Structure 1
Amino acid sequence: MTDHGLFDIHCHLIPGVDDGAQDLEETRKLLRMEYEQGVRNIIATPHYRDQMFDTPIRTVRSQFALVEKCVQEFNQELAKEDRMRIYLGCEFHANMQMSRMLDEGRVSTMADSGYVLVEFSGNAEYSYIEDRLRSLIIVGYRPIIAHVERCDNLWGDLELIRDLAQMGAYIRVNADSILGKSGFYTKRFCRKLMKGDLLHFVGSDCHDSRYRICRTGEAYRKVASKMGQEYADKIFIENPSAIVKNGENRRKFVKYT
């Protein structure tokens, strides 16, 4: 592992905004769990889905500020070089107004970057998936498909997934899926994605400290043992680092131009 620590780019630890952490005490437990798994960089991704998880962005940002304070308090206990960093993102359920909502700032990108974590219903048709991703790409966003292993119409079809990647989409799976917590066939599918060089990111998708927990470090070690540490570093550290770097560059552009 590099000195920068692992990234978790998909988790639900902002309290009271979706079906993840419900209070700050649970948030603190999740932060501690992330740290113990070797995670030092977190992109918190609360759900946004019309009429289900549609917490206003102002409320999300206000709750995220509380999480930032928790991280600051947690970091006071740690050595300076081993501190955690946290950024705001969103797990954005696909709809027909995605680009407009992002442009208007009603939904967050990943760490202020051009990357967008996009969730699809399990039964979404391939044509719809392709259309929604293309609609983001043509206006400059970089969509990441959240837990592709849950998309029934992409399941096992590496050529369709390759087509989406060549179009400009990125592929992400859950740590639990790599570890076999979601079943043998899902684990095997993730392995095929890795062997086909079609996996770009991994996230915990943790929601709580008891059932849907963070296993990012365990997944990292599993990938390193099967695919080599260089590959594991790429999808757990280097690729996520590019998201944060892109966000930093975008903030500089907005500030000075």
Structure 2
Amino acid sequence: MLMIDIHSHILPGLDDGPQTWEEALEMARLAAEDGIQIMVATPHLFKDRFSDVGGINNKETILAQIHQFREKLSQAQIPLEIMPGCDMHLSPRALELLEEDQVFTINDTRNYLLLELPDMSFPPGIGDVCFNLQSKGITPIITHPERHFLIQEMPDKLRNLLDLGCLAQITATSVLGGFGRAIARFSRDLLKKGYVQVAASDAHDTRGRAPKLRRAVEEIARVIGKKRAWDMVTTIPDKIIKGQPVN
């Protein structure tokens, strides 16, 4: 079954993902071999992740890399389709750039946006941010909540965001124990509660954080059943890249 990966750091030299085209192409080969047909390239909005001091991966920067990558994939005969996106770390500056149309939503549909929360805090205005984004037709997808310290302590914080209409994306490596047993257990808890709707690789390299989904889907299936597990990497991300309602 062919899969869609909506979260990956596969474009070289833009963030903490691959630094060369050779490594990016090897990641693409691994993804295609795993059964991933479409990958959304989502570099961090800020090159140093937390602020714009190190530079911004705006639409122009990302699109130039996307075009070049598509040519290289064609030349290498790697059957992987690349779409634009962005991993936006929540900050006032990021929201300003979004208003200025400098931030790629997933596949540039203006319907879904990967939103990363600060690692060790839960912004008091996050509810207002999510409400305002949705008033503009943009549904935030909270990335890797299973790795967020405060969500681990208080899962209802994630539930509150879901009640506001947000979605949540779990990471394949987390499910498989790559970030430790505690995060793997919490990942299963979130799956059982229905707190995550889509799975993605959040790939950064060819080793520890590789662009693979199949083994994670098999593990997820043990928790929530085969159909729901496969929907998380097929039906649901297909709707997301098309800008269609998930629910």
Given that 2:45 and 2:58 are in contact with CA atoms closer than 8 Å, whether structure 1 keeps it comes out as no
- CA 1:55/1:245 → structure 2, altered by over 3 Å: closer, same or farther? closer
Give, as a single letter, the amino acid of the residue that structure 2 aligns with 1:124.
S
CA distance in 2, matches of 1:56, 1:158: 32
SS of equivalent residue, structure 1 residue 10: strand
Question: Match for residue 81 of structure 2?
Answer: 85
Give, as a single letter, the amino acid of the residue that structure 2 aligns with 1:60.
I
- Displacement over 3 Å in runs of 4+: 97-100
CA distance in 1, matches of 2:99, 2:75: 33
CA distance in 1, matches of 2:157, 2:192: 16
Given that 1:126 and 1:154 are in contact with CA atoms closer than 8 Å, whether structure 2 keeps it comes out as no
Paired-residue identity, %: 30
2:26 matched to 1:26?
A: no
Shift of 1:179: 0.7
Question: Match for residue 72 of structure 1?
Answer: 74
Shift of 1:124: 2.0
Give CA-to-partner distance per residue, 1:187-212, whole Å, 9 cap, x none: 11111111111111111111112332
Shift of 1:106: 0.8
Q: How does 1:27-106 map to 2 (within 5 A)?
A: 27-49=24-46, 50-52=52-54, 54-74=56-76, 76=77, 83-106=79-102
Give CA-to-partner distance per residue, 1:113-143, whole Å, 9 cap, x none: 2100011221122524333323322322110
CA distance in 2, matches of 1:22, 1:46: 12
Question: Match for residue 108 of structure 2?
Answer: 112
Structure 2 unmatched ranges of 5 or more = 47-51
Given that 2:9 and 2:43 are in contact with CA atoms closer than 8 Å, whether structure 1 keeps it comes out as yes
Please say which of residues 96-105 and 192-201 is displaced more in the overlay: 96-105
RMSD of equivalent CA atoms: 1.9
CA distance in 2, matches of 1:186, 1:64: 33
Q: TM-score, normalised by structure 2?
A: 0.88
2:4 matched to 1:7?
A: yes
2:152 matched to 1:150?
A: no
Shift of 1:156: 4.3
Give, as a single letter, the amino acid of the residue that structure 2 aligns with 1:106.
Q
Shift of 1:99: 4.5
Please say which of residues 186-195 and 130-139 is displaced more in the overlay: 130-139
CA distance in 2, matches of 1:109, 1:229: 29
Q: TM-score, normalised by structure 1?
A: 0.85
CA distance in 1, matches of 2:154, 2:74: 44
CA distance in 1, matches of 2:61, 2:123: 34
The number of residues matched between the two structures is 238
SS of equivalent residue, structure 2 residue 243: helix
Give CA-to-partner distance per residue, 1:32-72, whole Å, 9 cap, x none: 01112221110110011222452343222111111111232
Give, as a single letter, the amino acid of the residue that structure 2 aligns with 1:101.
L
